[in-house]
Amino acid sequence: MIFWQNRDMGINYIKARKNHVCYGMGLGILVLNDAYPGFPGDVRNASAFPYPIQYEIAEGVTNKTLVYDKNPAQCREAVIAAAKKLERLGCRAIAAECGYFAFFQKDVAGAVDVPVFMSSLLQVPFIQQVIGPKKFVGIICAQKQFLSEEHLKNVGITPGSNYIIAGAQDEYGCTEFDNLWNPLKRPECPEAYFDKAEQQMVNTAKAFVAANPHIGAIMLECTGMQPFARAIQREVDLPVFSWGTLLDYAFSVVAHRDYYGHV
């Protein structure tokens, strides 16, 4: 086998890019400073994504300080510092692992020079255009009680527009997520079962859509929900958006693919 034939012949001349120290990088992802596992497809599990992932822990930013304390502003400095480090490493875009990082979309986008995708909820205005004004985006988040209008506005969502929110944990009793993410309930060693979590998410989505038949698409806000997106879609037969769809899009715009075919 002649290995040189695999070289991208479009890469000939190289030069430093904005003081970045590493190259060939993909997405830089801010993660919470919490030790809990994620199934493949969860943003904190890099194994299922087909592009390079570089993580950076946002020091002091946890489920408690970001979400449960109801004061996400206390995390701003640490979030911006972690994003800048990822940019310095050479990441082509910055993302985060929790939808509640929406609070910092404008802060981080203003602090770095690469595209920023701080929350899966960035997709909601796009989805609203896709499904039209007579249908609603069904947002399934972890805890509805903590998702404020400020979170929504910071990612371009107009409060009171055609969306409706459900809380998987606080409204629909997804206990497997409590076992991972709820600092008030999870065990010392967080754990979850895939089949049980999948069934709980499917039940949530089915009940949510049944109670709101005007829903035209599902938006899975939380970092660990997309492993169950296909199972949800099989049951509700609607377009399903998630962190997975956002990250795929984010990488595609900073590392566009070539096209090969025939005429």
Rounded Cα distance between 257 and 9, Å, is 14
Dihedral angle sign, alpha carbons of residues 81, 29, 225, 110: positive
Helix (H/G/I), strand (E/B), else coil: 86: helix
Q: How confident is the model at residue 1 (pLDDT cuts 50, 70, 90)?
A: very low
Angstrom CA distances, 231 to 146, 156, 176, 235, stand at 26, 29, 16, 7
Mean pLDDT across 191-215: 97
pLDDT digits (tens, 9 = 90+) for 156-194: 999 999 999 999 999 999 999 999 999 999 999 999 999
**pTM for the complete prediction?**
0.92
Angstrom CA distances, 97 to 3, 86, 217, stand at 37, 14, 22
